[in-house]
């Protein structure tokens, strides 16, 4: 197996200014795998209830996702409900019903344990650790987390951080994890905790990569329509990790290209509810959006001899 | 005169996690002119009280700013006080004392009226209109505004918008002004109101330029130290307009370079309280920061034949 993801498979009820969906296929592992499977064979390890629709398993299989690690047990599937403000500035959680997810104990089979790359989606850090203990020698491991674990389960989180190559967090999580309120300094502290690659997810503002002493930003694609931001971060990670898993080496160049692939992938995710847009996504779509993204980047070349400056003391010797 | 700015010259009391200053030189026209004067001779038209320190006028003159349009009248100078949250996510205004600014009626003298370029800082749209009526034929006019005028003085604001080339707003202001919650669509609506150039200021996330059917983003420089964000937007506009005023033509290329100059300028403004860092800024400093910015931009080149994709149906013909 190229890629293993351990996380949630859920039913989401989401309301935005553009409409609403109820019991729509969601969950971190779902969004991740729907994206990553475009690049690399992906297995999901997760748990669902006996209410989980066979047609939803089939949707994952139709994307070549290996669903043999999705355990079905008596009870209800994890459910989450939320509503977005009109311009997507804020998201309010209406309910979180862990249901069968409350007793999730990830069991990694022989196929998953041999995975090249592993993504530990946002679950309890002890569970993330237990996954790594079941895996052989994956060449690249990344994790997602959130403030709930950063503040409540820090010792376990610090243990798992020591064992991963890469962490995906947003600005707030980076500040909370590092204890400093500046992104560059926060990334340096997180590097010291273990992960040599720190990725800051900034939603509509894009994403930043901290690796090998470099800080690099990639804006998001400018879109004229956003339907539902749910899953943007997980599908960003999915595109990123799928690309990485498909490459022979994980170096700066690979990580930079993975940032681009993640950004392009997420730009489609938000243009439909649930995984609707993601499940028909093609590399051709990404190539089209890549041109769009390139056009969205402002060129930064400057001719310093022509910038002006009316006083001779302002002259500068940089060409 | 190359450039005329009409706005506030104020005393600010600011508190951040890094310290506090009281009655420090501030105001939109001050930050703007301290930045713009690095590129083009700039005149300020503003009003101050009899408490205004001669040394502060001198600081502006030391930057080659023409201060002859700063009227001094009996009373107190405009004062603003605010406090930033620890990581600068929010700013709370503690007080706003308009003082002599409450009766500000901009009087543009012969020198200012002949200005090549005009910046109407964030003042009442009727005052912005009165400035334009006093000016001859400036070749490029830009304005700043805020939600207070967008919601409270819309007819006057719409009249002045018809007469300007460029508007500087943040995301929220763009949504309020256009009535739509998507940046690309909002910019299109604002174009239809008059300004052919729309610049969205996004603070630590950079800025976006909408012009000639194109949408382009420039991230902010990644900084390892931010002292006080006050004046970032005004000095961004100052660097931008100063550069534009120094160029023979205002075309897309000029606007793109102006975005870079504005970004570099603002990156220094926030590294000191008040205008402390701005008043010693050199083109050499900007050139150094330009290299920093270039290093902060993630390259987006992709080899589509190498992105992976394990199934033949995923093949794509884009090189």
Mark which residues 26-55 of B lie under 8 Å from A by CB: 38-41
Note whether A219 contacts B223, CB cutoff 8 Å.
no
B314 pLDDT more than 50:
no
b/e map of A19-36 (b: 16 or more CB within 10 Å)?
eebebbbbbbbbbbbbbb
> What count of Cα atoms within 13 Å lies in the side-chain half-sphere of residue A190?
37
Which of A:63-92 have CB within 8 Å of B?
Answer: 64, 86-88
Q: Which residue of A has its CA nearest to B174?
A: A87
User: Cβ separation of A297 and B216 shorter than 8 Å?
Assistant: yes
Going by C-alpha positions, the residue among B226, B262, B225, B216 that lies closest to residue B243 is B262
Cβ–Cβ contact A224 with B under 8 A: yes
Structure token pair of residue A50: 């006996």
Residue B309, pLDDT score: 65
B224 touches chain A (CB under 8 A): yes
> Would you place residue B224 in the very low, low, confident or very high pLDDT band (cuts 50, 70, 90)?
very high
pLDDT digit string, tens, across residues A217-240: 999 999 999 999 999 999 999 999
Q: How far is A201 from chain B (nearest CA, A)?
A: 12
In the prediction, which pLDDT does A312 show? Answer: 37
Interface touch A40/B308, C-beta < 8 Å = yes
Residue A86 has pLDDT above 90, yes or no: no
pLDDT for res B308: 76
Asked if pLDDT for residue B24 goes beyond 60, the answer is yes
Token digits of residue B317? 């013909």
A252 touches chain B (CB under 8 A): no
For the ranges B12-16, B189-193, B300-304, the lowest mean pLDDT is seen at: B300-304
Is beta strand A91-97 parallel, antiparallel or unpaired with respect to A166-170? unpaired
| ipTM value > 0.95 | no
- pLDDT at residue A106 greater than cutoff 60: yes
Q: Do A38 and B216 touch (CB under 8 A)?
A: no
What's the pLDDT band for A316 if we cut at 50, 70, 90? very low
Stretch A203-226: mean pLDDT, rounded?
Answer: 95
Pick among A254, A304, A307 to test the B interface (most B CBs inside 10 A): A307
Give one DSSP letter per residue of B160-176, joined into a string. HHTT-SEEEEEHHHHHH
Residue B260 and residue A298: Cβ atoms within 8 Å? Answer: yes
From chain B, pick out residues whose CB is under 8 angstroms from the CB of A302: 257, 260-261, 290
**How high does pLDDT run on average in chain B?**
95
Determine, for residues B304 and A283 on separate chains, whether the beta-carbon distance falls below 8 Å. Answer: yes
> CA quadruple B244, B246, B251, B255: dihedral positive or negative?
negative
Say how far apart CA A54 and CA A75 lie, in whole Å: 15
pLDDT above 60 (res A209): yes
Q: Would you say B205 and A171 are in contact if contact means Cβ atoms under 8 Å apart?
A: no
CA-CA distance, A25 to A21, in Å (whole number)? 10
Residue percentage of chain B with pLDDT more than 90: 92
Radius of gyration of chain B (CA): 20
- The chain A residue lying nearest B175, using CA atoms, is A87
DSSP state of B246: T
* H or E element, residue B95: strand B91-97
Q: Is the pLDDT of residue B318 over 60?
A: no
Say whether pLDDT at A211 is over 80: yes
pLDDT band with cut points at 50, 70 and 90 for residue A314: very low
The CATH number of B3-314, from 3.30.420.40, 3.40.1190.20, 3.90.220.20, 3.50.50.60, is: 3.40.1190.20
pLDDT for residue A309: 66
B contact test, residue of A174, A217, A285, A294 with most B CBs within 10 A: A217
Q: Which residues of A touch B185 (CB under 8 A)?
A: 224
Nearest-Cα distance to chain B for A57, in Å, is 19
Per-residue pLDDT tens digits for B245-272 = 999 999 999 999 999 999 999 999 999 9
Taking only the tens place, the pLDDT of each residue in B170-223 is 999 999 999 998 999 999 999 999 999 999 999 999 999 999 999 999 999 999
Burial class (CB in 10 A: 0-12, 13-18, 19+), B65: buried
**Subunit contact B215:A296, Cβ cutoff 8 A:** yes
A152-181 residues touching B, CB cutoff 8 A: 171, 175, 181
Q: How many beta carbons lie within 10 A of that of residue A245, not counting itself?
A: 28
List all residues 6 or more positions away from B190 whose beta carbon is below 8 Å from its beta carbon: B161, B167, B169, B174, B177, B178, B198, B210
CA B151 to chain centre: 21
A271: which chain B residues are within 8 Å (Cβ-Cβ)? none
Please answer whether residues B7 and B46 qualify as being in contact, where contact means their C-beta atoms are separated by less than 8 angstroms. yes
Rounded distance between C-alpha atoms, residue B177 and residue B200, angstroms: 12
* Count, residues in chain A: 319
The helix or strand, by DSSP H or E, that contains position B243, with its residue range, turns out to be helix B232-245
Q: For chain B, what are the domain ranges? A: 3-314
Q: Does B255 touch chain A (CB under 8 A)?
A: no
Scanning every residue of chain B, which has its alpha carbon at the shortest distance from the alpha carbon of A281? B314
pLDDT at B87 over 90: no
Query: In this complex, is the C-beta atom of A2 within 8 Å of any C-beta atom belonging to chain B?
Result: yes
- Mark yes or no for CB contact B315/A224 under 8 Å: no
- Subunit contact B302:A261, Cβ cutoff 8 A: yes
State pLDDT tens for residues A27-58. 999 999 999 999 999 999 999 999 999 999 99
Question: How close B96 comes to chain A (CA, Å)?
Answer: 27
Distance from the Cα of A152 to chain B's closest Cα (Å) equals 21
pTM of the complete model = 0.94
How far does the CA of residue B117 sit from the closest CA of chain A (Å)? 14
Out of A79-93, B20-34, B132-146, which region has the weakest mean confidence (pLDDT)?
Answer: A79-93
Nearest residue on chain A to B206, judged by CA atoms?
A205
> What does the pLDDT look like over A128-155, one tens digit per residue?
999 999 999 999 999 999 999 999 999 9
Candidates A255, A302, A304: best to mutate against B (most CBs of B within 10 A) is A302
Q: What is the pLDDT of residue B105?
A: 97
What residues in A contact B183, CB-CB < 8 Å?
A: 222
B249 and chain A: CB distance < 8 Å anywhere? Answer: no
* CA dist A242 → A21, A42, B30, B42, B229 (Å): 28, 8, 50, 53, 39
Residues within 8 A of A (CB atoms), B 176-205 only: 181-185, 202, 205
């Amino acid at each position: 197996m190229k890629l293993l993801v351990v996380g949630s498979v859920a039913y989401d009820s989401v309301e935005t200014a553009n409409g609403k969906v109820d019991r729509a296929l969601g969950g971190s592992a779902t969004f991740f795998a729907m994206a990553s499977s475009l690049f690399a064979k992906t297995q999901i390890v997760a748990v669902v209830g006996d209410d989980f629709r066979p047609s939803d398993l089939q949707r994952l299989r139709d994307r070549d996702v290996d669903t043999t690690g999705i355990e079905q047990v008596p009870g209800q599937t994890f459910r989450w409900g939320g509503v977005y403000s009109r311009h997507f500035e804020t998201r309010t959680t209406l309910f979180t019903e862990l249901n069968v997810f409350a007793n999730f104990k990830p069991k990694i089979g022989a196929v998953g344990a041999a995975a090249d790359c592993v993504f530990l989606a946002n679950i309890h850090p002890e569970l993330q650790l237990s996954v790594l203990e079941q895996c052989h020698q994956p060449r690249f491991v990344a994790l997602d987390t959130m403030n709930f674990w950063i503040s409540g389960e820090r010792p376990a989180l610090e243990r798992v951080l020591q064992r991963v190559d890469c962490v995906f967090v947003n600005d707030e999580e980076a500040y909370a994890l590092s204890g400093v309120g500046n992104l560059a300094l926060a990334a340096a502290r997180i590097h010291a905790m273990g992960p040599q690659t720190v990725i800051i997810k900034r939603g509509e503002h894009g994403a930043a990569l901290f690796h090998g002493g470099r800080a690099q930003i990639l804006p998001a694609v400018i879109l004229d329509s956003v339907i539902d931001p749910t899953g943007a971060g997980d599908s960003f990670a999915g595109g990123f990790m799928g690309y990485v898993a498909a490459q022979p080496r994980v170096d700066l160049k690979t990580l930079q290209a993975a940032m681009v692939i993640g950004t392009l992938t997420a730009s489609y995710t938000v243009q439909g509810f649930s995984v609707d847009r993601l499940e028909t996504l093609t590399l051709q779509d990404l190539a089209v959006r890549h041109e769009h993204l390139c056009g969205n980047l402002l060129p930064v070349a400057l001719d310093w001899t022509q910038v002006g400056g009316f006083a001779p003391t302002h002259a500068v010797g940089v060409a």
